Chains A and B, each alone.
Chain A
Amino acid sequence: MPVWDIIGPVMIGPSSSHTAGAVRIGRIVRLCWGGEVKNANIYMRGSFATTGEGHGTDRAILAGLLGYAPDDPEVREGRELALRSGMNFNFYEEELEGAHPNSVRIEIWDDGGRRMDATAASIGGGAVLLQELDGFEVGVSCLLPVIIIMNRDVHGVVGTVTTYLSSHGINIATMKLHRDSRGGLATMVLELDGGESAVTSEEINNVHPAIVRVISIPGVAL
């Protein structure tokens, strides 16, 4: 964590983890979804569930899902803004053994049958961790640009993708691979040192036939 993440963020109070972190989680989930959020079920865990109301965590998550930043005074009006935008949302409490003490799971869907399920934790000082996306472990802070690639687990996908990114001048900072089973579904989580605008999600989707889905998240500064 560099010094500007310690002296910061500039944010609407009262809690960096419960308010600013919650706005950032909402924003990141919106970026993963890739557009306006029409329907959301929000499952609060741990102290998000027990102390969220007093910290404005609910308003903060909604403001984030609408695309607001943690230092925008409008965050205070998150609920009203969401209602006015026509978003259909519900809050629930969810108890889960081993869940991070400040975390939330958000289900989003649209009327065309598309769904997404994201879990994220607020890990202190406004920093967050996108933990899971559609059941796959992701584990990224989203401070750097991230590309998440879901693919069928066949030979050569990782090599093809990394060669492709390298040929476009994109440097990979970190890389994590997960799969549900051999030959099943796999995910590749790439944190980049920038330059992600040199390629689009569609272009990456086309580099190998086994790639099912690509999600690109620009870095979200604290």
Chain B
Amino acid sequence: MRSLQDLARLADELDVDLHEAVLASDSEATGVMPEEIFNIIFSRLQDMRRSVEEARKNTNPCRLVRGDAGALIREYADRGGMCGGFLLRASAIAIEVASYNASMGRIVAAPTAGSCGILPGMLFSWEGSFGQDVDDSDRKLTEALIVAGAVGEVIANRATLAGAEGGCQAECGAAAAMGSAALVYLMGGDCDAVSNAVALTLKSVLGLVCDPVGGLVESPCIKRNGLLVAVGALAADMALAGVTSLIPADEVIDAMGQIGRSIPPSLRETSKGGLAVTPTAKTLLKERGKKKGQ
């Protein structure tokens, strides 16, 4: 799939739901039957659900960051908080899954491992907060995941999903855009609203660099998973409210690709700039090196 516009047109032509248009398009391109593609994504959803449960119980430590952010947010959410239970729980799930990934746990890269917390955070928090009346939750979430995947496909085709090529906008930014599309779909929004949510999300992450401390997928990656769920969710709500993006989603994606290519290599997953070379980062890495040497 080359563009979200093509996808909307296809759904219109075939007079089908958005997720069915994605299945038709991928089936055409690969020769794999639509039902089979649905089943693959259905099983990915189960893997994602398992990763959320395992992540919550995970006791394997990360190498640099404390592993308690998810638990802290959950406790705080129980006491209140300004952002509401949906967002806080989405953030907690995202952080737990991203931490599990950092400690070499088994996760679903969606679209990448560094951004693997965002979609589970958004989807399963939606299920907890708004999915009670859905007859077949797994089916509905699978459909949303297929829509999210289509957004990822377009980003992969027009720009990139690799931090080393496009910075963090291409990983966590792409995941948040995919999640925003999934949320709009789950809330019954149309193709235009999906595109607008994607455009709004991506516009707010353009230029986001990839500068992980020590080259580890921990800082700022883990908390960025927990933060960008909010950008994606707000963009979804804005799009559902009828807010439109002046620049269409496909062109925002093109801009993202172009910006990614002009980000200097020091800020594209090489850990030679940005947060990775701050005094605190250097001190932490020196201490870690000493510990390893002992």
Contact = CB atoms under 8 A, between A and B. Distances in A.
Nearest to B46: A10
A4 B41 contact: yes
Contacts of B109: 8-11, 16, 20, 125-126
B111 A125 contact: yes
Interface stretch (B71-79, B131-139, B198-206, B214-222): B214-222
Contact of B217 (A15, A46, A126): A15
25 contacts: A1-B153, A2-B30, A2-B37, A3-B41, A3-B149, A3-B153, A7-B119, A10-B47, A13-B101, A13-B103, A14-B103, A14-B104, A15-B113, A17-B112, A20-B113, A47-B269, A52-B215, A54-B216, A71-B106, A101-B265, A102-B162, A124-B112, A124-B156, A124-B164, A125-B112
A20 B178 CA distance: 21
B230 interface: no
B162 A15 contact: no
Interface string B176-206: 0010000000000000000000000000000
A50 to B, nearest CB: 6
B162 A124 contact: yes
- 5 smallest beta-carbon distances between A and B, as pairs: A51-B215, A124-B162, A13-B101, A3-B149, A6-B152
Looking at chain A, what size class is its interface with the partner chain?
Answer: 35 or more
A11 B114 CA distance: 12
Given A4-B41, A12-B104, A13-B104, A54 B113 contact: no
B11 interface: no
Interface in B135-180: 145-146, 148-150, 152-153, 156-157, 160-165, 178
Interface in B242-258: none
Contacts of A1: 153, 156-157
A121 to B, nearest CB: 10
A83 to B, nearest CB: 18
B81 interface: no
A124 B106 contact: no
B107 A54 contact: no
B14 interface: no
A76 interface: yes
A67 interface: no
A54 B214 contact: yes
A7 B216 contact: no
Given A7-B146, A53-B215, A124-B161, 11 more contacts: A3-B149, A3-B152, A6-B149, A8-B108, A10-B109, A12-B105, A13-B104, A14-B101, A14-B216, A15-B113, A17-B162
Contacts of B148: 7
Most buried by B among A1, A11, A46, A193: A1
Given A2-B26, A12-B105, A7 B149 contact: yes
B29 interface: yes
A117 B83 CA distance: 55
B28 to A, nearest CB: 10
A12 B31 CA distance: 29
B102 interface: yes
A101 B145 contact: no
A170 B242 CA distance: 51
B107 A10 contact: yes
Contacts of A119: none
Contacts of A53: 215
A10 B110 CA distance: 9
B215 to A, nearest CB: 3
A52 B214 CA distance: 10
B261 interface: no
Nearest to B102: A14
Contacts of A16: 109, 111-114
Contacts of A101: 164-165, 265, 268-270
Contacts of A6: 110-111, 149, 152-153, 156, 161, 178
B149 to A, nearest CB: 3
A20 B110 CA distance: 13
A102 B269 CA distance: 10
A193 B32 CA distance: 11
A19 B116 CA distance: 14
A45 B163 CA distance: 16
B164 A4 contact: no
A20 B162 CA distance: 13
A91 B203 CA distance: 41
Contacts of B47: 10
B63 interface: yes
Contact of B106 (A2, A12, A17, A56): A12
